[in-house]
Amino acid sequence: MSAIVKIKDLHKSFGSNKVLNGVSLDVQKGQMVAIIGKSGSGKSTLLRCLNGLEKVDAGDIQVCGHDIHHPDKLNLRELRKQVGIVFQSYNLFPHLTVERNITLALTTIKKMSTEQAKTIAHKVLQLVGLENKKDAYPEQLSGGQAQRVAIARSLAMAPELMLFDEVTSALDPELTAEVLKVMEDLARGGMTMVLVTHEMAFARKLADVLVFMHQGQVWEIGPPDELFSHPKTAELQKFVSSDL
């Protein structure tokens, strides 16, 4: 396996608030890496740095061959063709149909024909079980359906890496199960994924690597069963026991 993400000694502050304090992490092609930790530990900021949404203060990040830490040399447009990101809020365009939400980037960024884009939209909607919703508008969807459309929209760009930032935290258990099923299918299909999640059972079942962040650092890292069963630090032990 080769590393698709390489992070070395990453630092990021917002004013006087040090959010990332020397994070180092590699993600291998085909891996699912789950990041857990208390609110404020730097998880979401780390994810946003991987997609160039946050500027890095110090350290090195390479993602899909792009040097994120050199913003003057970074082609964000090319990076975002290769790296999909899905947020807690779906960010769908309310005035566009589901199909057009998916085809928009294909026709404008990838310069595909409308027919090509529609073919891909149909394919990714099938993947997330929503091909019958192509003509619906976002307001006509449940939260779980909207999140699955957001995932389909990212998949349509054929990314090499998918980032998920607490994508189920606003959903009830039934809708959460819908979305997690889609992510499980992606993982089994070999998609490289980094997700920030509070779904501990899901992370334990499917992640290849579990990362526990604390105070802006990678506090513990390893196979999920090992970290859940034998936490090495008091901080992880307390975090795991509070979730049970």
DSSP one-letter string for 110-123? S---HHHHHHHHHH
pTM score: 0.91
Work out whether the CA dihedral 185, 243, 169, 161 comes out positive or negative: negative
CA dist., res. 80 & res. 109, Å (int): 10
Whether 240 is in a domain gets the answer no
Burial class of 110 by CB neighbour count within 10 A (0 to 12, 13 to 18, 19+): middle
Whether 242 is in a domain gets the answer no
Whether 244 is in a domain gets the answer no
Give me the domain span that covers residue 29.
3-234
**Amino acid, res. 27:** V
Whether 200 is in a domain gets the answer yes
SS3 (DSSP) at 217: strand
Whether 241 is in a domain gets the answer no
**pLDDT(178) > 60:** yes
End-to-end CA separation in angstroms for the chain: 34
Whether 211 is in a domain gets the answer yes
Whether 239 is in a domain gets the answer no
Total number of domains in the chain? 1
Q: Domain of 49: which CATH number?
A: 3.40.50.300
- Residue 244's pLDDT band, with cuts at 50, 70 and 90, is low
Whether 216 is in a domain gets the answer yes
**pLDDT(237) > 60:** yes
